[in-house]
Amino acid sequence: MRNANPTLVSIALADDHPLMRKALAYLIQNTEGYQVSFQAQNGMELLNHISTCEPPDIILLDINMPDMDGYQALSAIRKKCGAAKVVIFSMYHDDETMLRTIQLGADGYVSKSVNPEDLMSTLEHVYQHGHYYPDSVHDKVSAASRDEIQKNISSLTSRELTFLKYSCAGMLYKKIAEKMNVSKYTVEDYRNSLFRKLNVSSRSALAVLNMKYKIVEVEW
């Protein structure tokens, strides 16, 4: 089944709270240029739908859902329809959660605490430009030129690259220290060095850079 109106940006929603789904659908349907193509109460229902229909332009995906959560759904979406844009819409906005969704291939991340205008602005940015992350992540990554970032990447040491691999996989600093056979203070030195060289201030921003420039391969 094709979009009801191909001139509109189609959005599929997946959230286990009926009230939230209806509120999101109402907001999107009443925003010029957008339409809701499907509403799902979990990841499985969403996947069953998009596997038989034309994928929407953007999938707005919650994380904490029954049967199939947002992480599992995002991973499956990337395998089934890699071109679909996925924006995570979650009550969680900690570094670890953003890290994991970025590595799984999310194109955007927005907190449920934002106002309606910011949510629609995020969807618009993802549709027009491909990616959008919170200001704390997005601004730092976008600020430096590609040549500058490539030059800084080439200056990374092998130990810094190893730390980056573990960090982007969401590993706790204590575990990274064990894996690298160093103290937690040395791990913090690696982190601070990467932050300084790559001009970022969070692990989420590191993960975005790694995804964008394919610095190291990360396995979950």
88 located within any domain: yes
pLDDT classification of 141: cutoffs 50, 70, 90: low
Regarding whether 123 and 194 lie in a shared domain, the answer is no
What residues contact 35, with CB distance under 8 A and at least 6 apart? 3, 4, 5, 8, 9, 10, 11, 28, 29
218 located within any domain: no
Q: What CA–CA distance (Å, rounded) separates 71 from 62?
A: 9
What are the pLDDT digits (tens) for 29-85? Answer: 999 999 999 999 999 999 999 888 888 999 999 999 999 999 999 999 988 877 789
Q: Is 60 exceeded by the pLDDT of residue 144?
A: no
Per-residue confidence (pLDDT) for residue 78, from 0 to 100: 87
Q: Is 70 exceeded by the pLDDT of residue 135?
A: no
Per-residue confidence (pLDDT) for residue 30, from 0 to 100: 96
Regarding whether 33 and 75 lie in a shared domain, the answer is yes
Per-residue confidence (pLDDT) for residue 208, from 0 to 100: 80
What residues contact 152, with CB distance under 8 A and at least 6 apart? 144, 197, 198, 199
How many domains is the chain built from? 2
Per-residue confidence (pLDDT) for residue 2, from 0 to 100: 44
> Which DSSP letter does residue 128 get?
H
Residue range(s) defining the domain that contains residue 150: 139-213
Across residues 13-35, what is the average pLDDT?
A: 96
Q: What CA–CA distance (Å, rounded) separates 115 from 111?
A: 9
47 located within any domain: yes
9 and 120 Cβ atoms separated by less than 8 Å:
no
Q: At 89, which amino acid appears? A: F
What are the pLDDT digits (tens) for 88-120? Answer: 999 987 777 887 888 788 899 998 999 999 999
Q: What's the distance, CA 187 to chain centroid?
A: 25
Regarding whether 172 and 125 lie in a shared domain, the answer is no
pLDDT classification of 137: cutoffs 50, 70, 90: low
191 and 163 Cβ atoms separated by less than 8 Å:
yes
Regarding whether 150 and 76 lie in a shared domain, the answer is no
Per-residue confidence (pLDDT) for residue 31, from 0 to 100: 96
What are the pLDDT digits (tens) for 161-199? Answer: 999 999 988 888 999 999 999 999 999 999 999 999 988
Per-residue confidence (pLDDT) for residue 52, from 0 to 100: 82
Taken in order 69, 55, 204, 165, is the CA torsion positive or negative?
positive
